[in-house]
Amino acid sequence: MGNMRYYHIGFGREDLGTNPPTLALLSGDPERARTIAETHLRDARLLSDHRGLNSYVGVLPNGAPILSATSGMGAPSLSIVVNELFQAGIRQIIRIGTTGSIQPHVLPGSVVISSAALCRQGAANDIAPVEYPAAADPFLTVALAQAARELGVAHHVGITASVDTFYEGQERSASSANPNLLRWLRGITEEYRRLNVLNYEMECGTLFKMAGVYGFAAACVCGVIAQRTAGESVVLEQKAIAVDNAIRVALRAAMARAG
Ligand code: URA
């Protein structure tokens, strides 16, 4: 029988070589997946860039095999990629994303490591009941926090609001084309702030529920690029440092966990 290539990710188990990775770094942005592979991995090899969903296999500085892949934006795309990565043998996933802070002390440039998600995502409802916990793997999460501490990266561990939309769902109105923000979303950011939610992003809730249902370990580290207690826009001057911090934290944690 020939090599089975999964339809969306464009590669199969046999493309992963004789020492296949079981840990993946999963970025929303294909540029980030490529930068990780080309800048931080040894012997990086592009497996596929079908539909812009690129995936690279390579080797960490400690010799462990690893995958750097993109999930695309949002939970529906992530759910497809993660389903196929699991079928290809991946059993640990660290999402590397960007995020908007909703707490005044969580500053642009720092990273948020999600212990769990308030999951307000439609895709997750196709996978598990709405009440099903969206919890990060505790061991991968501790590895991320330890890595941040060792690297001296400012970090926060806590609950993330994982939602489907960047504009309406994160209560953006001044920067949005939609003049009609639904009533139930007006004031939601302040409500979450009071509930000690740290940040907004768009993928980890569904990732964590999939991890619980399928039986793999998942964690999430995001670079803070917007401060929603001060405004709606991305703080562009802090974006490069925030993303670089998230990548370095994830790579160090991966070295502790990949084998
Ligand atoms: N990603 C998000 O989902 N929200 C932000 O504000 C920034 C990045």
> CATH number of the domain that 247 lies in?
3.40.50.1580
Going from the Cα of 226 to the center of ligand 1, the distance in angstroms, rounded, reads 7
CA distance 89 to 71: 16
Pocket flag, ligand 1, residue 11 (CB < 6 Å) = no
Please indicate, yes or no, if residue 119 is contained in any of the structural domains: yes
pTM, two decimals, is: 0.98
Amino acid in position 13:
R
Residue 168 has pLDDT above 80, yes or no: yes
Going from the Cα of 212 to the center of ligand 1, the distance in angstroms, rounded, reads 24
Please indicate, yes or no, if residue 2 is contained in any of the structural domains: no
Please indicate, yes or no, if residue 1 is contained in any of the structural domains: no
Please indicate, yes or no, if residue 5 is contained in any of the structural domains: no
Q: Of the residues 5, 40, 228, 257, which is catalytic?
A: 228
Please indicate, yes or no, if residue 43 is contained in any of the structural domains: yes
Please indicate, yes or no, if residue 40 is contained in any of the structural domains: yes
Contact 79, 40 (CB under 8 A): no
pLDDT digits (tens, 9 = 90+) for 60-112: 999 999 999 999 999 999 999 999 999 999 999 999 999 999 999 999 999 99
Number of domains in the chain: 1
Pocket flag, ligand 1, residue 98 (CB < 6 Å) = yes
Pocket flag, ligand 1, residue 153 (CB < 6 Å) = no
Please indicate, yes or no, if residue 4 is contained in any of the structural domains: no
Please indicate, yes or no, if residue 3 is contained in any of the structural domains: no
What integer best gives the mean pLDDT of the chain?
97
- The DSSP bridge pattern shows strands 55-59 and 217-227 to be unpaired
Domain membership of residue 59 as a residue range: 13-258
Ligand 1 atom nearest to 163, measured from its CA: 3
